Chains A and B, each alone.
Chain A
């Protein structure tokens, strides 16, 4: 049984670091949302057959799903329920931004089955929020957390970012401590990444002369590699003391509150991704929908497939194995040896013998019980090791 992801490609305004596709609602006409819903319904009707027994979890992400108004949110959830039965007691997550959340919306989605909320707090410092173009304040985040708890959300995730311009250890610690004071069940800690095509990338990766010309000396400094590592390492330790388990490189949860939907991706389960930009993977075939909303809608209306130009990708056995490794080794539990052997017909220690030999003088890999895992002391520099598997 696959999991279901539904993409809402709208934001009030894009954040400076974001490389995902989304439409700014400030600029988009209102009818783009109706176009989106029309397309979504056609796609759902078409994809229903891929989940004959329903779906194992639901994740509504974006963009910013909570930018939709109450009516649209109701319409969205009703549409999902119409086409995809969700397993009883399954995890149903919605992502949202504190600046777009109202108590009315919170109550509505709770009443319509959403039982986990992932809030993009990023920081509890207004100045830092400003440096990366977030539209909300720390106060709005506090309010949103209160509202979510009041409405009965018992599974709450807070996203926090480190490595923000002008952020130092003290500011980072303050944000983490405040987050902990709300006792969220789950925390995601993401390091800021400069991705090509984003305003932040332009600001920090353009030649220094151009930068100086544009922003003078007022451009705040980015924490360097060592500072970022210290922030991360401090947080890992602090959260462990606070009773959270680091079940994935960037994700921390109280026992029993690990994100089931994301674990599905990381353990190699099948999934459906509906909506513009949504990615699906069923039986080793992966496809990605086109991101632009009107094109998505037009293609579906003409009964064509809404895939983007890269079309669908038939994953080779080798690529599937590589993905299982690069995602699995980011999990605390590691890669399940028997599941790997069951899915690919060989022991991963045979398949990757050369990689294991290259590292056998170091304590990089650990086999514990049925699992093959990465020594946690390397988890923050895992890329160079994970590269060995691709």
Chain B
């Protein structure tokens, strides 16, 4: 083994949203001088606008730090950042597979959260060395001793050595760097062996083609290497090799243990599949690296453009986003009401929101999103099993033998005073109690089985509002269960609007049908004629409301000769209306399609 790789450390950071991961990463970058203060944007690693605005990490990011340790040696530390949200577990597992160690960052006041726990288990599965960091010790409410106890009780790690830090004030940063050097093992792997590199991410660059983010496991790769994708056998000549410093910096070669990127004028991002192994076509490896478990979309919705003519732009934009986010899936679908669009699958609700927002912001699309749905399994009288991800595709009642819905195992960590509130909520959401234990004297872990459709409905909001924001949630798919479900259709002006249909448990169908029409009456503006809104199950009308006809919509002022002013006022009003979708003779605002999520039980 070459000596050089002894001075490489590859690590990631595991933390709950808001526990200070990005700030900590920034401090590490600053401390090691990868960037001058002036170059630091507020938070370097969260470089999408959306990430900075929301204070979350969506895409994993990578940066190489150069650190002179107390032993006098200079180490190359590769930080592979991870997203903290439950939706992005898949991204987390990718970063972890490229590391030998991880910082477990826990907020000194809040303690361990459900998603942190989930990511810790992922790290342990990957045999990573964990370094506990208790962050935000500068907060008046910090209680590091309690948090240490939690780490020991819940995770079973020895927390006596945990680093006490404040990314905000800079306390503990050097100690963290030292621990990384001393505790995280250097990468194994022979740089003289045939090349084996794991693609843990990829991105498309208009000039360089598809760029692969790689961790070299064995061998070396340089400009001019003929590389071969082991899953497809396709070969490309490497045009660029580099590292993230954190901006892209070209280097001569990457060798075993190192993290960086390679470009090879690859036109199609599908040729750089995340999880694939790259080898040297002239000296190929025989075995591939273990890849990733494939991400499974859990939440589905229809995406349509307000203007039919934007359809092709939507398709192109989805394709571009898919280049950097393989977990986003989409296929064309047609709605009678909305025309041509796409049924898209997401990892979760946040993922869905983020994709939608990126499409609107970065690609300037005016979109209609239908309410999210899960995949139902429908057993028909013909003996088929249909996977239904769009409520409007549910077969007629007389064709259905039974419907099964996805169930998740949900873990909720919450201060003990809110246990009653959580139990009540889970009862309302058709949950089945599994287990409850104390993770510390005043914090409880509850486990429930819940229908995924209820989580999609408004579970997060309810969870947060009923626990003053203290509860955290993690869930994973546990199976399917037969349930008594019905489809509610919505008629506007006597015509069914397929995009408004939704599936609901029979016990809740009447109340939700009624609340849905009430909600829609509030959302749909008055128009030139009266609009009846009805919700029906089968052929039976359950509830009806009416949007009365508009009575006044006129510019009554005489602007004299200033006709431009009058014209511009009308132009402005017209532009405001562009946000609405014309369905038959009715104009429907975009948020009407999400109305079902906003009705409370």
Chain A residues with a Cβ under 8 A of chain B: 5, 59, 61, 188-191, 193, 225-226, 228-230, 232, 249-251, 262, 265, 271, 273, 278-281, 286, 288, 313, 319, 322-323, 326-327, 361-362, 378-388, 390
17 contacts between A and B (CB under 8 A): A190-B558, A225-B550, A226-B552, A232-B552, A249-B556, A265-B560, A273-B560, A278-B561, A380-B551, A380-B553, A380-B554, A381-B550, A382-B553, A383-B553, A383-B570, A384-B527, A386-B570
The CA-CA distance from A279 to B564 in the complex, in Å, is 10
Closest residue of B by beta carbon distance from A61: B560
> Nearest-CB distance from A276 to chain B (Å)?
13
Which of A189, A278, A384: most chain B Cβ within 10 A? A384
Contacting B562 at CB < 8 Å: which of A188, A190, A279, A380?
A279
Closest residue of chain A to B556 (Cβ to Cβ) is: A191
Whether A262 and B558, one on each chain, are in contact in the complex, defined by CB atoms closer than 8 angstroms, is yes
How far apart are A270's CB and chain B's nearest CB, in angstroms?
A: 10
Beta-carbon contact of A229 and B556 below 8 Å? no
Q: Using A326-B570, A378-B528, A390-B574 as known contacts, say yes or no to A383 and B564 having CB atoms under 8 A apart.
A: no
* Complex Cα gap A281–B571 (Å): 20
Residue interface mask B354-388, A partner, CB < 8 A = 1? 00000000000000000000000000000000000
Q: How large is the interface on B (under 10, 10 to 19, 20 to 34, 35 or more residues)?
A: 20 to 34
Cβ–Cβ < 8 Å partners of B557 in chain A? 190, 193
Residue of B nearest to A315 (CB): B564
Asked if B563 CB lies within 8 Å of chain A CBs, one says yes
A190-B558, A313-B564, A386-B570 known; 10 new pairs, CB 8 Å cut-off, are A5-B561, A191-B552, A193-B555, A262-B560, A265-B560, A271-B561, A288-B562, A378-B528, A381-B528, A383-B555
Q: A193 near B556 (CB under 8 angstroms)?
A: yes
B3 part of interface (Cβ distance < 8 Å): no
Q: Is B579 positioned at the interface, with any CB of A under 8 Å from its CB?
A: no
Picked from A190, A226, A286, A387, the residue with its CB within 8 Å of the CB of B563 is A286
**Contact (Cβ within 8 A) A387 B552:** no
Cα–Cα distance between A232 and B554 once the two chains are bound (Å):
11
B92 to chain A, nearest CB (A): 42
Point out the residues of chain B lying under 8 angstroms from A278, CB to CB: 561
User: Complex: how many Å from CA A262 to CA B561?
Assistant: 9
In angstroms, Cα B39 to Cα A139, docked, is 72
Knowing A262-B558, A279-B560, A279-B562, say if A326 contacts B567 (CB, 8 Å).
yes
For B517-530 the 0/1 string (1 means CB < 8 A from A) is: 00000000011110
Among B566, B570, B577, chain A packs the most CB atoms within 10 A around the CB of B570
**A225-B552, A229-B551, A384-B528 known; A188 vs B570 contact (CB < 8 Å):** no
When A286-B563, A387-B570 are in contact, do A381 and B558 touch as well, CB less than 8 Å? Answer: no
B560/A380 in contact, CB under 8 A: no
Near A by CB (< 8 A), chain B positions 478-516 give: none
- Distance in angstroms from B443 CB to nearest chain A CB is 38
Compute how far the CA of A167 lies from the CA of B570 in the bound complex, rounded to whole angstroms. 28
The reply to whether A387 and B574 contact each other, CB–CB distance below 8 Å, is: yes
B557 to chain A, nearest CB (A): 6
Q: Does B73 contact A (CB under 8 A)?
A: no
Cα distance A384–B550 in the bound complex, in angstroms: 10
**Would you list the 4 A-B pairs with minimal beta carbon distance, nearest first?**
A229-B551, A279-B561, A387-B574, A191-B556
Q: How far is the CB of A330 from chain B (nearest CB, A)?
A: 8
CA distance A322 to B550 in the complex (A): 24
On whether the beta carbons of A381 and B561 are closer than 8 Å, the reply is no
